[in-house]
């Protein structure tokens, strides 16, 4: 086990300090929100500095749970004029409806719940950023496609 470099912490450099943690819950309090419970999560954490890394699946779950609970809390205070619908965002960012739903799920696009339906929060700055990102990814894809030929 001593030869296993992964057990050394890449953040603080402590040796043999990384331990696997399974099925734990975490409580996070984003600014402007009340505490959000997440989990069950899996990951690897340093016993010295407590820095940690969630597994890919847990990271996804974590982001989803935070986004969803933020949306629930925001639903109580956001007014109708502050939200928009998925179709408008589809036009604004120029992506598919599926992609917009995925962005909400991944916590990239803030939203609220009305009943069980999700409505994106109007935020031109975030729309612009997402559109830029989508465009960059499309360009990279094209570049790679050209290279392959």
Binding site for Zn ion (CB under 5 A): 9, 11-12, 14, 46, 48-49
- CB count, 10 Å around CB of 43? 18
Q: How far is the CB of 49 from Zn ion (least distance, A)?
A: 3
- Which of 9, 36 has the CB closer to Zn ion? 9
Q: How far is the CB of 26 from Zn ion (least distance, A)?
A: 17
Q: How far is the CB of 54 from Zn ion (least distance, A)?
A: 15
- CB count, 10 Å around CB of 13? 11
- Which of 44, 60 has the CB closer to Zn ion? 44
The stretches of 23-123 forming alpha helices (DSSP H) are: 56-75, 86-89, 97-105
- Which of 18, 67 has the CB closer to Zn ion? 18
- CB count, 10 Å around CB of 108? 15
Q: How far is the CB of 17 from Zn ion (least distance, A)?
A: 5
Surface-to-core class of residue 96, CB atoms within 10 Å of its CB (0-12 exposed, 13-18 middle, 19+ buried):
exposed
Residue burial 55-88, b: 16+ Cβ < 10 Å; e: rest: eeebeebbbebbbbbbbebbbeebeeeebbebee
- Which of 46, 109 has the CB closer to Zn ion? 46
């Amino acid at each position: 086990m001593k030869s296993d470099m992964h057990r050394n912490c890449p953040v603080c450099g402590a040796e043999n300090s990384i331990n696997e943690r399974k099925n734990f819950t975490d409580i996070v309090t984003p600014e402007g929100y009340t505490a959000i419970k997440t989990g069950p999560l899996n990951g690897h954490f340093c016993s010295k500095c407590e820095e940690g890394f969630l597994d890919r699946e847990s990271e996804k779950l974590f982001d989803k749970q935070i986004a969803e609970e933020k949306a629930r809390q925001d639903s109580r205070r956001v007014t109708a004029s502050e939200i928009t619908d998925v179709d408008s965002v589809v036009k604004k960012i120029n992506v598919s409806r599926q992609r917009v739903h995925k962005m909400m799920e991944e916590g990239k696009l803030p939203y609220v719940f009305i009943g069980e339906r999700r409505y994106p929060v109007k935020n031109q700055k975030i729309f612009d950023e997402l559109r830029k990102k989508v465009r960059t990814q499309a360009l990279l894809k094209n570049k790679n496609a050209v290279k392959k030929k």
